Amino acid sequence: MISYKPVFLVLGFLLSKLALFMYIPFLMAVVTGTQGALDFGLSAIITHIGGLVCVAIGGKTSLALKVKDAFLITTLVWVLGSAFASLPFVFINEISFTNAFFWFIAAFRGKPLLSLRRSNRCLDSHIPSA
């Protein structure tokens, strides 16, 4: 039987960590004055709220995980992590949620940038010229 409280607790911690990494491009966009600050900030806040909700559902529980729990955590982190990580691209309105979601699925696998550059003009329009 899968114990869901530790699964939600670990998932919440990992989503909160993802949100912390989303604050970096938000701060860079604010400091440099480039567009996208609102998109990254909103994405970070939504991801952080999702992580905190998962931590609240997990509550104070022991982290005695079984093999089934670990498989569920791996699957949920891959799917939900990709869904939350794709939010900045969706808010920028240059790429659909489906493309962004599958791009981040590939990112967790390790080969994302080449496929996105071939299939969409998003990167070319947002990379500042030297």
Q: What is the pLDDT of residues 67-96, one digit of tens each?
A: 888 899 888 988 898 899 888 888 887 788
pLDDT digits (tens, 9 = 90+) for 12-71: 999 999 999 999 989 998 998 888 888 899 999 999 999 999 999 988 877 778 888 889
Q: How far apart are CA 28 and CA 40, in angstroms?
A: 10
Check: CB of residue 27 under 8 Å from CB of residue 41: no
The more confidently predicted of residues 10 and 107 is 10
Confidence of residue 121 (pLDDT cuts 50, 70, 90): low
Q: Please, which residues have CB within 8 angstroms of residue 123's CB and are 6 or more apart in sequence? A: 113, 116, 117
| Helix 67-85 with 4-32: angle, nearest 10 deg | 20
C-alpha span between 72 and 59 (Å, rounded): 18
Q: Please report the pLDDT score of residue 36 as a whole number.
A: 82
